[in-house]
Chain A
Amino acid sequence: AQSVTQPDIHITVSEGASLELRCNYSYGATPYLFWYVQSPGQGLQLLLKYFSGDTLVQGIKGFEAEFKRSQSSFNLRKPSVHWSDAAEYFCAVAAGGNTPLVFGKGTRLSVIA
């Protein structure tokens, strides 16, 4: 069975600083990997996804993530954080394209001036 670990419960960064959110997964084969963002009171919005090919994937809102098979990781990065990026971020893994998502517990991002 798949599982996802997001080691950081809460991260605070200054506006304009770089960001990296960590995600480690457990799955025997090549997983389908996703990052979602959830603002307070909102549903989940897909930031980016990885299925195959180039291990560095670009997403919306200036986010990118890198798949590292050797480390079973799929870390999310952004070079310069904006105050509007404050939200909850979830990493998720799936066994296939239309199969259920298994989510991590999330990382809450706070942005300070």
Chain B
Amino acid sequence: ETGVTQSPTHLIKTRGQQVTLRCSSQSGHNTVSWYQQALGQGPQFIFQYYREEENGRGNFPPRFSGLQFPNYSSELNVNALELDDSALYLCASILAGTSAYEQYFGPGTRLTVT
């Protein structure tokens, strides 16, 4: 139990639609990262937020965007969905002020684009 929750668990969308995925971290976790895990692959870094500002982005197009809120929750938004966006989306949070450097992962949201 990592204390990181994600919603919804599963989601089915149609190509071209927009989707919002949500992540809720524990108090004090002021850094959150989002990863995309395609079937049979390892997770790939999408972007990271620190104190509500994006401070790192992987090789993903601008139609992938995010928000982080003061209550330690965050969102991943994907516009103009494509079939290849079908994947498990994971969020991970890091507890501020710790030297443990542990990213706590949520259970993920399984997105299917048809």
Q: Which A residues contact B (CB, under 8 angstroms)? A: 4, 32, 36, 41-46, 49, 51, 90, 92, 94, 97-106
Contacts and interface: CB of A to CB of B under 8 A. Distances in A.
28 contacts: A42-B107, A43-B2, A43-B106, A44-B43, A44-B90, A44-B92, A45-B2, A45-B105, A46-B102, A46-B103, A49-B101, A49-B102, A51-B101, A90-B42, A94-B101, A97-B99, A98-B31, A100-B33, A100-B48, A101-B35, A101-B45, A101-B92, A101-B103, A103-B42, A103-B43, A105-B41, A106-B41, A106-B42
Given A43-B107, A43-B108, A100 B101 contact: no
Contacts of B103: 46, 101
A44 B90 CA distance: 9
A45 B31 CA distance: 18
9 interchain residue pairs of minimum CB distance: A103-B42, A97-B101, A100-B45, A44-B105, A43-B105, A43-B107, A105-B42, A103-B43, A106-B42
Contacts of A99: 56
B44 A103 contact: yes
